[in-house]
Copies of this chain bind each other. A is one copy, B any other.
């Protein structure tokens, strides 16, 4: 990921240890935020010593960079089943419902892992902000792919801009996840996704879908 690491050689076992550290750190950071996660906490959760952690990462910031990359991959990966089928209203609705269900299972905690990192890090860490913005760009592109397919098939009004709709949909989703965290329910998330998908539906050409 175009980072600053000197890319040292890693033994198979070393790679496993490093992965274990990142996975443990990512889980803790999602639960408590970056500032709320100490390197001691990560060591305990990953079952490693301080020297191990600092063998693989120059400092806490380097670890958090790795956590950011892992988090983005996890978030996008978790949606893959749904994310590839966003080229119809039914597909969009199924995707939206899957996210609502997931948040209910998570007791409405945590918001979007990417969004939480943005909120904590973006202002005073430009590199982290750029990594996270890239993650959003990948997400937006995946949504845009489905909408562009609909548009190309003539199912969306010619005047509609599928890329702009994709960005708006992702943005609405982010707001919905934040309000879910604040309200401890999915009412706002459902309301905003209903509105966005309703808006898209109003752009569907009659007779298609």
Q: Cα distance A144–B201 when bound, in Å?
A: 24
Check if A32 sits within 8 Å of B124, measured CB to CB: yes
**How far in angstroms is the closest Cβ of chain B from A55?**
27
Please give the count of copies of this chain that the complex contains. Answer: 2
Docked pose: A116 CA to B133 CA in angstroms? 17
B184-A129 in contact (CB<8A): yes
**By DSSP majority rule, is chain A's interface helix, strand, loop, or mixed?**
helix
Q: Is the CB of A123 within 8 A of B168?
A: no
**Residue from A116, A119, A133, A182 having most chain B Cβ neighbours under 10 A:** A182
Q: Which of A124, A132, A168 lies at the interface centre, i.e. has the most chain B CB atoms within 10 A of its CB?
A: A168
0 or 1 for each of A62-102: is its CB under 8 Å from B? (1 = yes): 00000000000000000000000000000000000000000
By the criterion of a CB under 8 Å from any partner CB, how many residues of chain A are at the interface?
49
A156 interfacial by beta-carbon distance below 8 Å:
no
The winner among A31, A171, A172, A176 for most chain B CB atoms within 10 A is: A171
Contact in complex: B199, A171 (CB < 8 Å): no
CB-based contact B191/A167 at 8 Å: yes
Nearest to A129 among chain B residues (CB) is: B182
> Is the Cβ of A120 less than 8 Å from the Cβ of B119?
yes
Query: What is the CA–CA distance of A42 and B31 in the complex, to the nearest angstrom?
Result: 27
Top 8 nearest A-B pairs by Cβ distance?
Answer: A175-B175, A35-B35, A174-B175, A119-B119, A171-B192, A168-B195, A199-B199, A171-B175
